[in-house]
Structure 1
Amino acid sequence: MAGGRLPGPAAPGADVPVHVGLRTTDMDEAREFCRKLYYGPLQIEPVGDPGGFRFSADVVLLGPITLGEVMYGTDIRITIGALETAYHVLVPLNGMVRSQHRGAVVLADPTRAVVYRPTGAIELEWPGSCRLLSVKVERAALERELDAALDHRLVSPLPLGATFDLVDGPGRTWAALVRLLLHELCGPDGLASQPRMAARWRDMVVSGLALTVEHPYGEEPAGLQGPHRPRTVKRALDAMHTEPWRPYTIHDLAAVAGVGVRVLQESFRQHVGMPPLTYLRRLRLDGVHAELSRSDPGQASVSEIAYRWGFTHLGRFAGAYRVRFGVTPSQTLRDRA
């Protein structure tokens, strides 16, 4: 392994890129590498000559995105449980992969990417000659991007198309951006490795994906429905998304929005579907869940992460977490072991 160790816990919004590389002929080592960096419920089985197994990967973790260039050297089959916490895109650089997800079969190659939503198991048939870009974007990050940019109420998970074009239009530009960023971050002392620049690149990857994915809503990106949100609601949402860990009260948010408490609550009921503080709690829970899902159990603790996201009463936090995700926070963290 080269390029650095897996990152420990970081403050919300951290933008320090971490490069991790691996070259190995050991199937178990490659499997563990992919589980740590991408998803725990992942299985890799050779269907070609096991003697030809030559795993090669360079992966960069940058806040809510994980970028990698991966190749296996022999034909393999990958199965993954529901992603839950992330959207994912595969961009073959050469060769072809056969993907099955949510009943749709996609043959992805250098002309067409495959897109995964955070629901439903995935099956991949990946030839040994195929090298591809693997891009993971945390669910909350992509949904926040659409929410903040377009002032509309979102359906979660977003009903994204299963594929997009890589030859023309925004798909070609987005894939080139991802590949350039990965190349820069894997090299020594690149400009993109500076935290301020890395944050801008990260935002371009997330916002570019939001504008690239196919969707059933005409000229608007996927998942949008409901009326346009008033400026007062937008101000409160912007404040919560910018600093979700701040101890906001309903009076604080009303002051940010420039209206009275009752007006703000009624506006949220109409345009968001829940009270402001309920939305804030959900935003924080999603942030904790995403961070627990990518943290090393040996280096992170549930209480530290919960406090960073603004939860000061651990008992109430644990109960709300279990209601939302169906498991305890510690179970989510242990699943990364």
Structure 2
Amino acid sequence: MDGMVGPATPLDTPVHIALHTRDVAEAKAFCRQMFYGPLQVTPIGDLSGFAFSGDVVMLGPVTVGEISYGADMHVNIGDLETAYHVLAPLTGTLRSRHRGATVLADSTRAAVFRPVGDIDLYWPGDCRLLSVKVERAALERELDAALDQRFVSPLLLGESFDLVDGPGRTWAALVRLLHAELCAENGLIRQPRMASRWRDMVVSGLALTVEHPYGVDEPAGLQGPRRPRTVKRALDAMHAEPWHQFTAAELASVGGVGIRVLQESFRQHVGMSPLTYLKRLRLDGVHAELSRSDPWQVNVSEVAYRWGFTHLGRFAGAYRERFGVSPSQTLRDRR
């Protein structure tokens, strides 16, 4: 697989997918496909008003959905692992619990979620919100560039931020405009150069908006240790060529350390081993490509091979475990 080029589908190609349904199972499947596999949606009380509306746009590492259920729901999500997430209500009040912190999010305050830790949501029927997913690597690279690696991973982010004043207001307006433009057919953001710039603004704007202890004048004891350059080199290599058949020894060589040292550094600073991270990176890449592809133009095996999976049986099992559906189902849902 070494000589293969990267995925054929440009990751900055905007995608718009919408669903309006009164079927709870259909709504759950849609949210699992668009956002996360380990997601459970349970109705609370009367379902007569249930009317799910999901309007989702994807642009590279950023996914934005305008979501509402029309009835009171309990939503539980397992570890996000490869993404950071923001919920910004447009109407109503959402109650969330994550990593021991409870946040009441409404039109004045957003809730922020890190990659590690279950998320428990009470989502009332009158709550309509913007659900913003930003890939973990994209946000961490942005902060890495700005702060010369002075952070731990996952990022030590605050659990919420203000939407009425300061940078939060600007970022929320930018996300709303991004969503509206990508829902339209002929907006300026549909131009590739504009799309990539807008993507970068959303990611860098979030890095500047969320609360974190990585400023120059943070109190003693809050400053996180630097991510080792050995880890960063291995991550850079995997993100540059995720389809390459890396071994643990090869990644250790890239990092300039022994295998055991690299594995321990990854567990400490990334939360998993290098090859586990690589598999999840590939799975997310396949999922993103299948979610954007024309089912009449591609097939699952081609996409899987392109992302470095050589054993289709094991790939299909890992994909279903991560996203809750088969890869072929993801592709069929694009029809």
Q: Please classify the TM superposition score into its range, dividing by the shorter chain length.
A: 0.7 to 0.9
Q: Is residue 76 of structure 2 the alignment partner of residue 82 of structure 1?
A: no
1:334 maps to which residue? 320
- SS of equivalent to 2:199: helix
Give the 5 Å matches for 1:66-215.
Answer: 66-152=63-149, 154-215=151-212
1:220-270 CA distance string (max 9 Å, x none): 8998533998xxx99x799858844598x9xxxxxxxxxxxx9x949xx9x
| Distance in structure 1 (CA, Å) of the matches to 2:135 and 2:155 | 12
Residue of 23, 26, 51 corresponding to 2:23: 26
Shift of 1:329: 4.5
- SS of equivalent to 1:113: strand
| Distance in structure 2 (CA, Å) of the matches to 1:238 and 1:79 | 30
**Does the 8 Å contact 1:244/1:284 carry over to 2?**
no
The alpha-carbon distance between structure 1 residues 186 and 72, as it changes in their structure 2 partners (threshold 3 A), is same
**Does the 8 Å contact 1:156/1:223 carry over to 2?**
no
Residue of 12, 21, 27 corresponding to 1:15: 12
Shift of 1:71: 1.1
**Does the 8 Å contact 1:177/1:205 carry over to 2?**
yes
1:6 maps to which residue? none
What is the letter of the counterpart of residue 126 of structure 1? W
What is the letter of the counterpart of residue 98 of structure 1? R
- SS of equivalent to 1:225: coil
Shift of 1:121: 1.1
| Distance in structure 2 (CA, Å) of the matches to 1:66 and 1:83 | 14
What is the letter of the counterpart of residue 46 of structure 1? P
**Does the 8 Å contact 1:50/1:74 carry over to 2?**
yes
What is the letter of the counterpart of residue 61 of structure 1? M
- SS of equivalent to 1:28: helix
1:253 maps to which residue? none
Residue of 34, 40, 45 corresponding to 1:43: 40
**Does the 8 Å contact 1:86/1:136 carry over to 2?**
yes
| Distance in structure 1 (CA, Å) of the matches to 2:302 and 2:146 | 32
- Structure 1 length as normaliser, TM-score? 0.73
What is the letter of the counterpart of residue 143 of structure 1? E
| Distance in structure 2 (CA, Å) of the matches to 1:14 and 1:158 | 24
**Matched residue count:** 294
1:23-44 CA distance string (max 9 Å, x none): 1111121111111111112111
1:266-300 CA distance string (max 9 Å, x none): 9xx9xxx69xxxx9988855531432454659966
The alpha-carbon distance between structure 1 residues 290 and 242, as it changes in their structure 2 partners (threshold 3 A), is closer
Q: Which shifted more, 142-151 or 42-51?
A: 142-151
| Distance in structure 2 (CA, Å) of the matches to 1:302 and 1:106 | 43
- Structure 2 length as normaliser, TM-score? 0.73
| Distance in structure 2 (CA, Å) of the matches to 1:33 and 1:283 | 25
What is the letter of the counterpart of residue 287 of structure 1? L
2:285 maps to which residue? 291
Alpha-carbon RMSD across the aligned residues, in angstroms, is: 3.9
**Does the 8 Å contact 1:86/1:118 carry over to 2?**
yes
Shift of 1:154: 4.0
The alpha-carbon distance between structure 1 residues 92 and 243, as it changes in their structure 2 partners (threshold 3 A), is same
Structure 1: gaps spanning 5 or more residues: 1-8, 250-261, 319-327
